Amino acid sequence: MNFPEDLKYSTEHEWVREGNASTVRVGITDYAADALGDIVYVSLPTVGQDVAAGDACGELESTKSVSEVFSPVDGVVSAVNDHLSDTPETVNSDPYGEGWLFEIELADGADLDDLLDADAYAEHVGA
């Protein structure tokens, strides 16, 4: 399993990559993509949607099951990866790159320090 050191992780298996000072990019981890199996459909939040840390805001459907996607931080969805509507399998093949899900404009006071670093996440999943 691959857990890049430059990302933060939620216990619900989402990753967060810091962008500019107030925006983060969100996706699911390699561990989650592997557990789901072949992803065939992606439902993402809408741009402008308010999200709170821990709230379900999308779904990933695989050949095995449907899994909710949770927001790892508080904020407003500022972008979604429209590319995934035509190629949802990108989440499996490149979960930390082209398979990103959405971006969040962080709410005032939103704190990434509550998220796990790569080592803590690896321990969380037993890797």
CATH number, domain of 89, equals 2.40.50.100
Do the domain assignments include residue 119? no
> In this model, does residue 119 exceed pLDDT 80?
yes
Do the domain assignments include residue 2? no
Mean pLDDT of 91-108: 96
Do the domain assignments include residue 12? yes
Do the domain assignments include residue 75? yes
What is the domain count for the chain? 1
Do the domain assignments include residue 82? yes
Structural domain for 101, as ranges: 8-108
**The pTM of the whole model exceeds 0.85:** yes
Count helices and strands in the chain by DSSP H and E runs = 3, 9
What are the tens digits of pLDDT across the range 14-65? 999 998 779 999 999 999 999 999 999 999 999 999 999 999 999 999 998 9
Do the domain assignments include residue 39? yes
